[in-house]
């Protein structure tokens, strides 16, 4: 078990395919069962988010500006079209404002907003995919992710996004969330409503499929068009 490579280690090495104290006990006291004191900054965030949910215009502006960079990055990761990415970001921001009264500060504000943005973006991406499937004479290419790893993958026979488009949607989503957006296994599980073991399986299968595609391209001498 210890020798098994993690999904992230596998991702990091994939582009290389192209180049061959114990705690002490303590007595129970009423204070030991209390929740840790909340960071004053977190409490202030919760208050402002709730004000945004109540319709306070100033608080809403603050919340939108606070989470906008994260929301835009998520939208642009899953949607190639700038117009679709903008639509996804706007939809996600509205959903975040609508959900503002439910924010309790148990997670970082950007992480909480990011999970809402991912769900909304995946929903819009699925709608766009269905629309393309039924459109007659549609020439649009599949959505392409904007990956942090693209620079390290320049030597691959094809662009990394082309390989990702060949994965089943569930595997592609897991790979993008984990490697492009740095979501943890548990965060992906919560966002996609599956178990952590399922997420790990999707990552393993997705990365194995990517490596297989790359090896096949190398074997037949495929080269990226300029």
pLDDT digits (tens, 9 = 90+) for 93-114: 999 999 999 999 988 899 999 9
Rounded to an integer, the average pLDDT of 190-203 is 93
41-143 maps to which CATH number? 1.10.1740.10
Q: Matching CATH topology for 41-143 and 149-226? A: no
Contacts of 138 (CB under 8 A, 6+ apart): 132
Report the run of H or E that residue 18 belongs to, with start and end: none
The answer to whether 132 touches 126, Cβ cutoff 8 Å, is no
Whether the per-residue pLDDT at 197 is higher than 90: the answer is: yes
Question: What whole-number distance in Å separates Cα of residue 192 and Cα of residue 202?
Answer: 12
Residue 34: DSSP 8-state: S
- Beta strands (DSSP E) in 90-198 are none
Q: Please, what CATH class does the domain formed by 149-226 belong to?
A: mainly alpha
Give 110-168 pLDDT, tens digit per residue: 999 999 999 999 988 888 777 766 654 444 444 444 444 443 455 677 777 788 888 99
How do the domains of the chain map onto residue ranges? 41-143, 149-226
Whether the per-residue pLDDT at 71 is higher than 70: the answer is: yes
Contacts of 18 (CB under 8 A, 6+ apart): 155, 156, 157, 214, 218
């Amino acid at each position: 078990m210890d020798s098994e490579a993690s999904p992230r280690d596998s991702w990091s090495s994939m582009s290389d395919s192209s180049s061959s104290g114990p705690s002490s006990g303590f007595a129970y006291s009423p204070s030991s069962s209390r929740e840790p004191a909340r960071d004053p900054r977190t409490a202030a965030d919760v208050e402002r988010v709730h004000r945004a949910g109540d319709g306070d215009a100033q608080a809403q502006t603050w919340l939108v500006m606070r989470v906008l960079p994260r929301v835009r990055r998520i939208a642009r990761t899953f949607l190639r079209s700038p117009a679709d990415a903008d639509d996804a970001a706007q939809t996600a921001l509205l959903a975040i404002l609508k959900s503002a009264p439910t924010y309790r500060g148990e997670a970082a504000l950007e992480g909480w907003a990011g999970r809402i943005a991912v769900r909304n973006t995946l929903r819009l991406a699925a709608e766009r995919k269905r629309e393309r499937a039924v459109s007659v004479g549609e020439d649009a290419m599949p959505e392409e992710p904007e990956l942090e790893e693209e620079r390290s993958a320049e030597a691959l026979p094809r662009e990394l996004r082309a390989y990702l488009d060949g994965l089943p949607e569930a595997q592609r989503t897991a790979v993008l969330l984990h490697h492009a957006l740095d979501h943890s296994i548990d965060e992906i599980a919560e966002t996609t409503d599956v178990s952590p073991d399922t997420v790990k399986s999707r990552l393993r299968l997705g990365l194995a499929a990517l490596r297989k595609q790359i090896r096949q391209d190398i074997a037949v001498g495929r080269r990226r068009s300029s």
